[in-house]
Structure 1
Amino acid sequence: MQRRFIQCDVFSPLATRGNGLAVVLDGEGLSDEAMQRFAAWTQLAETTFLLPPQDPDADYRLRIFTTTRELPFAGHPTLGSCMSWLHAGGVPRTPGLVRQECGVGLVEVDVSAERPAFVAPPTRIEPLEEAVLASALRALRIDPADVVASARLVNGPVWEFIELRDADAVLRADASGASFPQERAIGLLGAYPPGGEADFEVRMIDIWHGVKEDPITGSLNAAIARWLKADGRLVAPYVAAQGRAIGRHGRVHVRPRGEDVLVGGDVTVLIEGVLDF
């Protein structure tokens, strides 16, 4: 069967310097096994499949797969899939607002501004146990004196989040050779001096029998933004840079809106065509 397909680059103003995403626009009729097999074949961080919505308020339903498993929510797949759907002719029920149905429920994407931005889903904030924090610091060769705050953040994915004293401390973190008996996703945040292009540097390092660093992570940035808001520190828009440590140029634009937090970025469609799949 022929299915429409788009590959796009997300969260960077520079094409091919963000996070790549494969989007199958006609996912109806594919089995879970077929979706997972295709996602593994693409070798991208995530591959998504658009389906007719089950929720009457949604514009479409989205399933998100890594190379090994399905995710209830992820940030760059949300923005990339939304913009791919619009690029392919999708028309939202509400002008300027796309409602995406996924594993965490309905996620709203504001497409009325310069950059699309999704409403960050609710985030559970918990203390990060001292032993867990200490093992993360050892794995990343971080000086405990550089730690400002830590927390476990849950917004679908589970993040071991550590705020460091500045962006340089984030960029110095080194996980080469680290491993854990189970998968652990560690998120880092550090501020740049005022007046620069970006306000923060973010890194997401996934460690499990090896090290994998994500170029740009929308769901982690969304969780961090929710944490900053809960801490009373999200009072104005900011820009987070991510990917510098691995040669990418990610820019995540965060802004508060009442009780909501919007997480946005640029999306570039690079490839479109038809799959015989």
Structure 2
Amino acid sequence: MTSLPFVTVDVFTTTRFAGNPLAIVKIPKGRDVATAQMQSIASEFNLSETVFLYENNTNDETEPEWRIRIFMVGAELPFAGHPTIGTACYALGTLANNSRHGKLHCNAGPIELEYDGEVAKASIPHNVHIHTEHEVTAEQIYHLQPAIAKSPPPQSVDLVSPVKGMNFVCVELPSLEILAQVEASGKAITPQLDVDWNTGFIGSYFYVIDEQEGEKLTIRTRMIEKSLEDPATGAAASGLAALLALKHKLRFAKFSITQGVEMGRRSEIGVEVTLTESLDKVKKVVLSGSALKVMEGTVFCD
């Protein structure tokens, strides 16, 4: 019988039992676990994501690096935001004794990390694509969310992929009151994606811009996927931030995004987006947040 140590952390929060829970299963140096076994373990945890962290021997003279794989209950992901931040805080804070810098390697590419003892910043892999070949209509949104069908219509509906395989329908609503009516209705949205981008996860990300002062925006969000609501979605937040920076030509944009309020798991997500000088491409995306360890134990598997 194989045993693997694990911890759980609450991500995008400084308060335990808030934010978004994450399981981190540690794979000791020199060992490996089959993909099918990883998927079974992620299904057993039944959280939005589970990370498998390949442990390394850290050295004070070198920048610590770790390979990670990220799984939903039913599929592996190339990248996801709250697993990145949660793993960064745990790996740099605990495994590397509060190292200020490090790197994660996920399937989407390398992720440069900074850590100040509380907040981790991750320069995330990105290949931002705004889908334009097919429109997502208000009627599709109302089918997904019948509770808001009689409210004032969405102010905008966009489909964005922060990386290939992660896709979000971003719906700007007129008010927080309408945002509160959004439900995990169990209905799936199936928009047509652009050619060569028709793959991976699709979620619905509803948002209200609370405040904008220059290139600083404060936003409230909710992320729904069928019958599930996610307390904090770093990939969606990154995609939305890149979308808004491009739409509004914001060269150095900073976003404070609050998610999970309506489900009692308030999450605070930071995103910084830098555009190229031409203002038509994303140069850099930095995701930031905190995480706290909640549980630890051992996974037993055959």
Normalising TM by the smaller chain, what interval? 0.7 to 0.9
Shift of 1:194: 6.5
Residues 1:172 and 1:194: Cα distance change in structure 2 (over 3 Å)? farther
Q: Could you say what the CA RMSD is over the residues aligned between the two structures, in angstroms?
A: 2.9
Ranges in structure 2 where 5+ consecutive residues have no aligned partner: 57-62, 192-200, 276-282
The answer to whether residue 271 in structure 2 is matched with residue 254 in structure 1 is yes
Q: Conserved in 2, the CA contact under 8 Å of 1:128 and 1:160?
A: no
Q: Where does residue 238 of structure 2 map in the other structure?
A: 222
Corresponding residue to 2:50 among 41, 47, 50: 47
1:162 is the counterpart of 2:140: no
The answer on whether the counterparts of 2:5 and 2:26 sit within 8 Å (CA) in structure 1 is: yes
Instruction: Evaluate the alpha carbon distance shift between residue 180 and residue 264 of structure 1 in structure 2; reply closer, same or farther with a 3 A threshold.
Output: closer
Which residue of 30, 38, 42 corresponds with 2:41?
38
Cross-structure match for 1:29:
32
Instruction: Assess if the C-alpha contact under 8 Å between 2:242 and 2:273 holds in 1.
Output: no
Shift of 1:254: 2.1
- The partner residue of 2:260 within 243, 246, 263 is 243
1:42-94 deviation digits (Å, cap 9, x = unpaired):
111111111269xxx981111011111111110011111122222442379xx
Q: Report the Cα offset of residue 12 of structure 1.
A: 1.6
Answer whether contact 2:251 2:274 (CA < 8 A) is retained.
no
Alpha-carbon distance between aligned partners in 2 of 1:129 and 1:181, rounded to the nearest angstrom:
12
Mean alpha-carbon deviation: is it higher for 168-177 or for 243-252? 168-177
Change (3 A) 1:247 1:109: same
Take 1:137 and 1:158, find their aligned partners in 2: how far apart are those partners?
Answer: 19
Query: What is the percentage of aligned positions where both structures have the same residue?
Result: 24
C-alpha contact 1:14 1:249 (8 A) present in aligned 2: no
SS at match of 1:82: helix
Q: Is the 8 A contact 1:169 1:190 kept in 2?
A: no
SS at match of 1:244: coil
Residue of structure 2 aligned with 1:192, choices 196, 207, 210: 210
Distance in 1 between the 2:136 and 2:274 partners? 36
Give, in whole Å, the separation in 1 of the partners of 2:251 and 2:142.
Answer: 26
SS at match of 2:95: coil
Alpha-carbon offset, residue 180 of structure 1: 5.7
Please list the CA deviations of residues 182-224 of structure 1 after superposition, one character each: whole Å capped at 9, or x if unmatched.
Answer: 97411111112579xx9211111102xxx11111101100111
CA distance in 1, matches of 2:115, 2:93: 12
SS at match of 2:256: strand
Separation of aligned partners in 2, 1:194 and 1:62: 36
Contact 2:89 2:118 in 1 (8 A): no
Aligned-residue offset at 1:168: 3.0
Specify the alignment match of 1:85 in structure 2: 91
Corresponding residue to 1:138 among 143, 167, 176 = 143
The runs of 5 or more residues in structure 1 that have no matched partner are none
Specify the code of the residue in structure 2 equivalent to 1:68.
Answer: G
